[in-house]
Amino acid sequence: MKSRNWYYKQLKRKPVQITRHSIQAIFLLFLLYVGLRFYQFYMHFESLGAKPYVPRPSAVEGFLPISALVSFHVWSSGGGFDKIHPAGLVLFTFIVGSGFLFRKSFCSWFCPIGTVSEWTGMLGKKIFKRNFDIPTWLAWILSSLKYLLLLVFLSMVVFNMDLYSAKAFLVDPYNKVSDVKMLLFFVNIGGFALKFIIVMFILSLFFKNFWCRFLCPYGALIGLGSIFRITKIHRNEDTCTNCEMCTKVCPSRIKVSKKITVNSPDCTACMQCVEACPIKDTLNMTVVNKKVNKWFIPVAFIVLFFLVVGFAKLTGHWDTIIKYNEWKQLIQNVNDIGH
């Protein structure tokens, strides 16, 4: 009964956050289900047909950002829409494009890594009774790392890969089986990769959203859309009491209480600061400088996401053209591909 009463109190006080955490959990469970189905798909071919065939879930392509970046480069250069990993291109284009209007809503509402990172920070707060702050000068240096990583990927794919090479990469067996390579990487994870994940987990216990704030190049790319300042948080100085509750709850550690408008590319539109503010209409989300309801950005983002995915499925831009027999050949020789 106590837990139920607590839940209802939280739902009344912070309805957006309760909804956000619920959607994070649902989406994380869905992606785990996608991973399981993809593993069953792989095992059918690995076992030479001894295990039942499970159709490959196209959503797994959302975990192939490099392939999607190459296919976006080809598509935007007039080279045609990728038919090998079309769902990856659809998701990449929407997620990066969404940053212009919805800021980094993907990071705070859907991203599984963002969810795990945030929940790890919440666990750390329960253990240590607080989340620790990184000195401002060090945070500024660390923040540049994700942009350096982004620049490396953009240099490799956009600046140094011509259209012919990019198109050749898309039809190369390595790209075709890159999702299986990714699966095997996590199934057989060890060495440096496992140590890196453990280090990220420990750092996230102390410093909330460490990976997202300092190292994620995908999040850095999404955040670039915010430089146009179409959407932002506005603080009313006249009614602000300087309680700093908004700054305390910000997962990106943005000093909201010191700003008139939050234009930072690190803002994830999670709405935590808006809901934490004790004074009505002191913090508001704005679109083209017009105040909108706190539900507008998340609801519009989620609705548009499903509309885009639905449209891609209806128009044949979601499922790969690779058929059963080609998958059979690729997967049974996956260890030799790329060597």
pLDDT in tens, 137-167: 999 999 999 999 999 999 988 888 999 999 9
Q: Which two tokens stand for residue 117?
A: 């990172």
Q: How many CB atoms lie within 10 A of CB 125?
A: 15
pLDDT for res 138:
93
Fill in the amino acid letter for 234.
H
pLDDT for res 13:
74
Distance in angstroms (rounded) separating the CA atoms of residues 279 and 274? 10
109 and 301 in contact (C-beta within 8 Å)?
A: yes
pLDDT for res 190:
83
Q: How many CB atoms lie within 10 A of CB 154?
A: 15
Closest CA to 221 of 100, 85, 59: 100
pLDDT for res 131:
87
Length of the chain as a residue count: 339
Q: What is the CA radius of gyration of the chain?
A: 22
pLDDT under 70: residue ranges of the chain:
1-12, 339
114 half-sphere exposure, CB direction, 13 A CA radius: 25
Longest Cα pair distance anywhere in the chain, in angstroms?
A: 70
pLDDT in tens, 31-89: 999 999 999 999 999 999 999 999 999 999 999 999 999 999 999 999 999 999 999 99
Distance in angstroms (rounded) separating the CA atoms of residues 41 and 56? 6
Distance of CA 35 to the CA centre of its chain: 16
267 and 243 in contact (C-beta within 8 Å)?
A: no
Buried/exposed 48-62: b ≥16 CB within 10 Å, e otherwise? eeeeeeeebbbbbbb
Distance in angstroms (rounded) separating the CA atoms of residues 270 and 280? 18
pLDDT for res 3:
56
For the chain, the domains span: 15-227
Contacts of residue 328, Cβ cutoff 8 Å, sequence gap at least 6: 45
Contacts of residue 43, Cβ cutoff 8 Å, sequence gap at least 6: 51
139 and 253 in contact (C-beta within 8 Å)?
A: yes
Q: How many CB atoms lie within 10 A of CB 141?
A: 12
